[in-house]
C-alpha cells in the first residue's frame, strides 16, 4: 500500500511535520530507529513539547503510525529526512544519522520518489553526501528520482508560528526537483520560498541562525561593560526598540542554548575553514563571547554574595528554570548546565526549581530539586533566575528573596540585580 510521505526521524522537527501533513489529508508513516519512541507514539504518547498526547491520539485517528521497519520507506511518494545533526568533536556537524537515513532510503528508493533533507548541515551536504548514497541504488537524481533540501524552521514553544504558517524554503538539485518539493510542502504550508538550488537553501538556514548568534553575542558583551559603567542595558534596549526602522531587539542572557543557535553557526564556520582555509571571524568571536556567559554569570553571583559578606564556598544558590527556552521542557545545550558546574566548582551548594524538569544532571551528578518554590527562594543565600517560565512572578519572587540575580530582564524593582 502506498503512502504520501514517510518522515524519517520523529523528533521535534519530524513529528510536527507529520502532524501538519495529516491535517492536510496526506497519508503519513513515521520511521525512527528508536523503538521506544515508535512504541510510545503508537500508544498515543508524545515525547516533544509542541505536541501533547492528545495531538498524537488525533494523528493516530487520522491514520498515522510509527514504524522501525525501513522497508516501509519504499511505499512513499515522498520521503523527508529530519534526523539530528549534532556537533562532532572537530566542530563540524556529525552526519552519521543523515548517512544512516540516506542509506535506509537508498535501499528502498523507487522511481519517481521525492527525497527531501531537512536536517541542518553545511552547504553541499545534499549534493555531495546524500545524493551519492541514494544513487548507490542505481537510480539517478533528477532523472529517476527527485532530491531537494528544505531547512527546518521549528521554534519549540512558539505559540504563534508553527509548521503551517512559517514560510518553507525549498531548493532542489534540479528545477523540477524544486517544483516537486514546492508542490509537496504547498499542500500543508501557507508560503513556499524557492531558492536556486540545494546549497542556497542549506546556507539560508545557517544565515538565519548566524544572524541571531552574532547579535546575541553583541548584547551579551554590552551587558558586561554596561554593568561596569552602571548603565541599565535593558532600559537601553527598550529605548532603542522604539526606532521603527533599522533596529531589531536582542537580549542578553546567561548563555545560548537549544540545537540551533549554539550549534548551527559552527557548521558554517567549520565549512569555511575546511574548504577555504580561513576563519569566519564573526562567528568564532560570537561563539567565544556566548560560551563564556555562564562563567560571567557565576562571577557576578560570587560578587553579589561577596558584597553581602558571604563567601560563595558553602553558600546556597537556587537556580530558577534550567531549560534552554521558557515554557518548554527542552534542555538541549542549556546554559544552566555550565552555570551549575561553575558555581559548584566555586563551592556553592546548588539546587534548582523548574516546573517542567523532574530530574536534572549537571556537574557530573544530580542537582537537588526543590518543589517548595517560595520556601526555597526565601531561604537561599542567592536566587538566580536562569529561565523565566510563565509560572514565575519574577518581581514577587525577587521581593521574597534575600538576594535575587535576574539574568533575563524579567524584574523591574530594586529588589533584584539584573544582568
Would residue 260 show up in a list of annotated catalytic residues for this protein?
A: yes
C-alpha to C-alpha distance for 89 and 94, rounded to whole angstroms = 8
Contact 134, 99 (CB under 8 A): no
What are the φ/ψ torsions at residue 324 (nearest 5 degrees)? -85, -20
State the Cα–Cα distance between residues 76 and 167, nearest whole angstrom.
24
DSSP alpha helices (H): ranges in 128-197? 131-135, 175-185
What gap in Å lies between CA 67 and CA 73, rounded to an integer?
10
| β-pair type (3-8, 382-385) | unpaired
Q: How far apart are CA 282 and CA 268, in angstroms?
A: 11
Contacts of 348 (CB under 8 A, 6+ apart): 301, 312, 313, 314, 315, 316, 317
Q: Which three cell numbers stand for residue 353?
A: 526549581
Q: Choose, from 260, 348, 367, 410, the residue flagged as catalytic.
A: 260
Helix axes of 293-307 and 336-345: crossing angle, nearest 10 degrees: 50
Cα(11)–Cα(48) distance, rounded to whole angstroms? Answer: 7
C-alpha span between 84 and 88 (Å, rounded): 12
List residues with catalytic annotation. Answer: 260
Amino acid at each position: 500500500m502506498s503512502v504520501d510521505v514517510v518522515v524519517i526521524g520523529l523528533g521535534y522537527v519530524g513529528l510536527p511535520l507529520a502532524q501538519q501533513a495529516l491535517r492536510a489529508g496526506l497519508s503519513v508513516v513515521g520511521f525512527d530507529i528508536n523503538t521506544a519512541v515508535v512504541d510510545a507514539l503508537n500508544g498515543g504518547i508524545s515525547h516533544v513539547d509542541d505536541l501533547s498526547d492528545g495531538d498524537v491520539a488525533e494523528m493516530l485517528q487520522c491514520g498515522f503510525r510509527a514504524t522501525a521497519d525501513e522497508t516501509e520507506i519504499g511505499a512513499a511518494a515522498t520521503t523527508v529526512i529530519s534526523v539530528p545533526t549534532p556537533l562532532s568533536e572537530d566542530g563540524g556537524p556529525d552526519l552519521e544519522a543523515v548517512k544512516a537515513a540516506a542509506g535506509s532510503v537508498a535501499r528502498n528508493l523507487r522511481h519517481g520518489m521525492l527525497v527531501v533533507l531537512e536536517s541542518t548541515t553545511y552547504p553541499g551536504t545534499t549534493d555531495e553526501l546524500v545524493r551519492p548514497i541514494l544513487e548507490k541504488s542505481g537510480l539517478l537524481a533528477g532523472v529517476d528520482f527527485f532530491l531537494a533540501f528544505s531547512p527546518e524552521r521549528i521554534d519549540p514553544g512558539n505559540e504563534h508560528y508553527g509548521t503551517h504558517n512559517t514560510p518553507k524554503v525549498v531548493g532542489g538539485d534540479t528545477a523540477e526537483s524544486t517544483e516537486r518539493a514546492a508542490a509537496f510542502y504547498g499542500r500543508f504550508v501557507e508560503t513556499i520560498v524557492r531558492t536556486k538550488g540545494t546549497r542556497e537553501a542549506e546556507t539560508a538556514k545557517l544565515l538565519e541562525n548566524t544572524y541571531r548568534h552574532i547579535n546575541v553575542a553583541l548584547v551579551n558583551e554590552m551587558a558586561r561593560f554596561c554593568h561596569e559603567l552602571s548603565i541599565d542595558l535593558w532600559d537601553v534596549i527598550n529605548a532603542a526598540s522604539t526606532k521603527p526602522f533599522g533596529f531589531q531587539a536582542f537580549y542578553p542572557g546567561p548563555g545560548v542554548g537549544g540545537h540551533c543557535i549554539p550549534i548551527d553557526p559552527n557548521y558554517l564556520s567549520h565549512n569555511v575553514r575546511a574548504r577555504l582555509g580561513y576563519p569566519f571571524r564573526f562567528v568564532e568571536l560570537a561563539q567565544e563571547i556566548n560560551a563564556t556567559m555562564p562563567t560571567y554569570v557565576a562571577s557576578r553571583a560570587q560578587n553579589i554574595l561577596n558584597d553581602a559578606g558571604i563567601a560563595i564556598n558553602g553558600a546556597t544558590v537556587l537556580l530558577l528554570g534550567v531549560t534552554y527556552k521558557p515554557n518548554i521542557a527542552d534542555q538541549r545545550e542549556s546554559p544552566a548546565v555550565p552555570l551549575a558546574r561553575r558555581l559548584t566548582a566555586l563551592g556553592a551548594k546548588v539546587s534548582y526549581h523548574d516546573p517542567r524538569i523532574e530530574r536534572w544532571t549537571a556537574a557530573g551528578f544530580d542537582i537537588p530539586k526543590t518543589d517548595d518554590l517560595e520556601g526555597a527562594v526565601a531561604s537561599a543565600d542567592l536566587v538566580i533566575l536562569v529561565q523565566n517560565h510563565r509560572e514565575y512572578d519574577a518581581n514577587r519572587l525577587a521581593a521574597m528573596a534575600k538576594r535575587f540575580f535576574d539574568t533575563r530582564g524579567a524584574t523591574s524593582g530594586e529588589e533584584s540585580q539584573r544582568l
